[in-house]
Amino acid sequence: MTYKLMVIDDDMDRKALYQAVLSGADFEPIYVWTRRELQKQRDMPVDGYLLDVFLQRGDWRGATAADLLEEVVQLAPRPAPVFFISQRWDDPHVLSVLKQAGKSSAKVIQYLAWSEFEQAVQPDAAAASRLSALRTKLLSELMLWHGRSSFRPEPDETIRILLLADPQFGDEHTSQNALFTENWIAKKLRLDAQNGTPVPDLIVIAGDVTHSGRPDQFGLAEERLTHDLMAPLWGEDSIELRRDRIVVVPGNHDVNLRFSAADGRIFSPKEKEFRPDSPIMKSDDHAPYLSHQPYALEPFRRFAHRITRQREWQDRSSMSWVDRRFIHCGIRFFVLNTVEDLDANRPTQACFNERTMRLINRSLADDNPDSIFSIAVSHHGLRPEGSMQETEVENWVGVGRHFFSQHKIRLWLYGHYHAFHRRNITGSPFEDTPLWMVQAPTTRIYPSTRGFCVIELKRKAGHVIDAYVHNYVLDENGTTTRRPALRIYGGGDAPSLR
């Protein structure tokens, strides 16, 4: 991922230092030295701004960075973060500039001293480390603001994804041998690492984290996943740094149906029991007011935000979006909520909400799907072959397949069916770009086959060229058996659906 940065300064003699710091694949600087040049460039979309705090030379006429926030940055075609730079932070006018900047809707994320740039290129032994530190500071702030993960593999490095599904914490049908499941998973993957296979880089949880969506069940899930899986897998000190490597979606068991069912009942304090309640009230134009249903996934939303620190879990009511945190790795995830329309009256509903899919389409109006490897993650998928009883995405034919084809989604990860399975679709509309599907089993529930998957994405020059799935079976005696790898992209002999 290259970040386009607009550098606005009144001193062209600084260009060599800017170039020294902003050289390389991470940054694409655009230099503006005069107000006249700024008028030509002001409508250019960029990923960030580096602004000199005091602009006094040439036609700037004593402008400040705060003025530019009001005149340019907050009116730009897309929002972008701002770095303030100055060699005069001790100037008595600085406070007034910062006070003015605080009133702008533009976001200043870092305050830099010009001496940091000068010291980064000094001819001494420590200059290289200072230069690296300054670049890292800029890059880290940009990645954080734009929601990018700190995970940065080499262009030819394989990306490994641990796929978990249906732990259903709090379920009475939890296997008696599942008490230490997360420890066993981490132990097996650490053992593989000792034998030459690195531990997974990312974790994907394909829904049904809990049994009934209760806050205490999510509390237990967070504790077990954090301290029994992430800590031994990645290291206790790395947990907070690696939360941006977790992808999670809700499943039907994560919907707390108590909230939805509450719309038809009222609790009587006197009798200490529930009794029928009046229907949801309507406005003058006969539109119903809000119900309790939006609260049904609130415990899950809070869990997801705590475990990932991803701001979308606070901002997106649909809980579906394109996760761009790993674009610089050549991959992106379509986080898809298949239980958005599930409620107490439709407890088995599973679909892609059409309005939500349309909003995602609009956000990708200038999309080039051929340039990136797209992975969909949901709880429900297509029911296993030969089964007519299991719930699947009911509008797959009318909505899902066209959406997947349009964005050239190449891999679909899901759970729900408590069994291992992998297959592909090569019929219409996937003749040119087959869709591969990997179904993960439950990790904890008896009597289903318990286990997990590790996906390997082979990359060359930053692009995925091949992919495999390794299925791990959690045996009842506590051991973990790794099955032979199966190809899931780039060829192979998986059964095909037409």
Question: Is residue 105 within 8 Å of residue 9, measured between CB atoms?
Answer: no
Q: What's the confidence (pLDDT) of residue 493?
A: 41
Q: What's the confidence (pLDDT) of residue 336?
A: 98
- The mean per-residue pLDDT over the stretch 68-92 comes to 92
Three-state secondary-structure class, residue 89: coil
441, pLDDT greater than 60: yes
Percentage of the residues of the chain whose pLDDT score is greater than 90: 73
pLDDT digits (tens, 9 = 90+) for 308-332: 999 889 877 889 999 989 988 999 9
Mean pLDDT of the chain: 91
389, pLDDT greater than 50: yes
User: Residue 184 and residue 165: Cα distance in Å, rounded?
Assistant: 15
Amino acid occupying residue 196: G
Q: What order of strands is seen across the sheet that includes strand 3-8?
A: 27-32, 3-8, 48-52, 82-86, 108-113
Q: What dotted CATH number matches 159-255+289-497?
A: 3.60.21.10
- 3-145 to CATH, choices 3.30.1330.30, 1.10.10.10, 3.30.70.560, 3.40.50.2300: 3.40.50.2300
498, pLDDT greater than 50: no
DSSP string, 122-172: -SSTTHHHHHHHHHHHHHHHHHHHTT--S----TTPPEEEEEE----BT-T
387, pLDDT greater than 90: no
CA atoms within 13 A on the CB side of 330: 19
Q: What's the confidence (pLDDT) of residue 371?
A: 85
171, pLDDT greater than 90: yes
366, pLDDT greater than 80: no
496, pLDDT greater than 50: no
Give residue limits of the domains in the chain: 3-145, 159-255+289-497
Q: What's the confidence (pLDDT) of residue 417?
A: 96
162 vs 343: which has the higher pLDDT: 162
pLDDT digits (tens, 9 = 90+) for 411-432: 999 999 999 999 999 999 999 8
User: Residue 474 and residue 181: Cα distance in Å, rounded?
Assistant: 8
Of residues 486, 370, 365, 484, the one with CA closest to residue 436? 486
Q: What's the confidence (pLDDT) of residue 491?
A: 52
Lowest mean pLDDT among 84-93, 139-148, 162-171, 320-329: 139-148
- pTM comes to 0.80
CA dihedral over 395, 397, 399, 404, signed as positive or negative: positive
41, pLDDT greater than 80: yes
Highest mean pLDDT: which of 91-105, 142-156, 355-369, 386-400? 91-105
492, pLDDT greater than 50: no
Q: What's the confidence (pLDDT) of residue 255?
A: 96
